[in-house]
Amino acid sequence: MAEVQAAFLETKSRRITKPRSFKRIVKPLILYPLMIITALLCLGPFLWLLSTSLKTNANVFAFPPQFIPRPISFNNYIKVFEFMPLWHHIYNTVLISGMGVALNLITCLLMAYPLARIQFPGRNTIFVAMISTLILPNAAGMIVHFVTIQKFGLYNTYLGVVLPAAVSVFNVFLLRQAFITIPNEMEQSARIDGAGEFRIFWNIMVPMVRPAIATVVIFDFLNFWNSFIWPVVVLSDKEKYPLAPALQYLQSDFSFNFPYIAAGTIISIIPIIIVFLFLQKQFINGMVGAVKG
């Protein structure tokens, strides 16, 4: 189905850009400047951070600012790595994010599938309860989570960091929507071939919702990667901190150094951009599936 869709998009866009020589010249002439201006507006603060992080020993607050650093120096990056065991924190973050995304994906997939395709008693109740959680307040959420994690004996463990976010209502909705759009015929023919329920789910249905999975992975990865309060609450050893809380140490009164903060921020953003680059196409298709259903 995803392939069909991709093929459809392919032919469609080919049709749009069908070469008419006038269009071929004028369209880029209008579109490129527009896209570049928008990109500059979006990237502005990010570029400024990047440029600051590459400056050396200059006044980063100087006005008017120096936009392109001269000379370009990676000194701040090296210094940040010396200031704190950054590789270690990156490793922790990858571990936490990986674990969190995997757990979340599995529980949400398992939960979304029956909610989408099997009529069972209690289904609507679960569904309405889930919707209501999007609206009801959660004032004591963090405290209740902490008490629970502690009762489970998970204080100061990575599992304690990821477990409260190991299932997400939003993701279940998203995946459920994707499962709903799969035509019934696929399931029927598999059943005739003698496939069991779980095999239908795992070998046939899950591959069909790959785009939606990409969407879930990106959002989840983003959340786990950037969360900075909860890991501090659950973890008691600083050595276990992921990147985001560790970077906060750069901002204390005694060590506030803006080029370091800039370098640290850039380091923390790059992995997300890479994940996004890889999953971008799937991500877009995933959103189509989620809303169209």
Partner 1 sequence: MARRSRLTAVLLAVVMMMTMVLAACGSNNESSSASNSAPPTGSAQQSGEKSEAPKENVQIDFWTLSLSPNFDDYINGRIKKFESENPNIKVKWTDIPYNSAENKLLTSIAGGNTPDVVNLNTVLALTLASKNALVDLNAEATEEQRSIYFEKMYNSTALGNSAYAFPWYLTGAVFMYNKKIYEEAGLDPNTPPKNWDEVVQQAKTIKEKTGKYSFVYTNHILADLRELGVPILNEDKTKVMINTPEVLKHAKWVKSLYDQELIPKDGVTGKYTYNIDQFQAGQMAMLMTGPQFLNRVKENAPDVYKNTGVAELPRLTQDGDIVTALMNVVIPKLSDSHKEAIAFANYITNDESQLEFAKVVNILPSTKQAAKDPFFTTEADDPESKAKVITAKQLDRAYDFTFGLNRENDIIKAFNDEWDKMLLGQQTPEEMIKAAEKSMQEKLDAINAEFK
Partner 2 sequence: MLSKLNRNRLRFAYLMIIPGFMLMAVFVFYPILYGLPLAFTNYSVVDEMKWVGWKNFDRAFKDPIFIKSIWNSLIYLIVVPIIQLISILMAILVNNRLRGVQFFRVAYFVPVVTSMVAAAIAWRWMFQGNGILNYLLQSAGLIGKPISYLAEADVALFAIMCVTVWKGLGYYMMIYLAGLQSIPSEMQEAARIDGAGRAKVIWYITIPLLKPFVLLCSLISMMSAIRVFDEVYVMTAPLPGAPFNATMTSAVYTYEKAFRDFDFGYAAALGLIVSLIVMVISIIMFKYGRKGGMSYYG
Among 5, 150, 188, 203, binds partner 1 (CB under 8 A): 150
User: How far is the CA of 173 from the CAs of 9, 78, 129, 135, 147, in angstroms?
Assistant: 25, 43, 12, 15, 28
Instruction: Give the interface segment with partner 2, choosing from 74-82, 93-101, 233-241, 255-263 (CB under 8 A).
Output: 255-263
CA distance 70 to 214: 40
CB of 256 to partner 1, least distance (A): 5
Instruction: Give the interface segment with partner 2, choosing from 69-77, 86-94, 233-241, 261-269 (CB under 8 A).
Output: 261-269
Under the binding rule (CB under 8 A), the answer on residue 87 touching partner 1 is no
Structure tokens that stand for 240 in this block: 């276990």
Under the binding rule (CB under 8 A), the answer on residue 31 touching partner 2 is yes
Under the binding rule (CB under 8 A), the answer on residue 42 touching partner 2 is yes
Of residues 224 through 253, those in contact with partner 2 by CB under 8 A are 226, 244, 251
CB of 232 to partner 1, least distance (A): 4
Under the binding rule (CB under 8 A), the answer on residue 263 touching partner 2 is no
Which residue number, 217 or 237, has a Cβ lying nearer to partner 2? 217
Under the binding rule (CB under 8 A), the answer on residue 124 touching partner 1 is yes
Instruction: Give the interface segment with partner 2, choosing from 68-76, 77-85, 89-97, 279-287 (CB under 8 A).
Output: 279-287
Q: Contact at 8 Å (CB) between 135 and 146?
A: no
Which residue number, 43 or 229, has a Cβ lying nearer to partner 1? 229
Out of partner 1, partner 2, none, what residue 249 binds, judged by CB under 5 to 8 A for its kind, is partner 1
Q: Contact at 8 Å (CB) between 286 and 213?
A: yes
Binding footprint of partner 1 on the chain (CB under 8 A): 57, 59-63, 83-84, 124-125, 127-129, 132, 142-143, 146-147, 149-150, 155, 228-229, 232-233, 236-238, 245, 248-249, 251-259
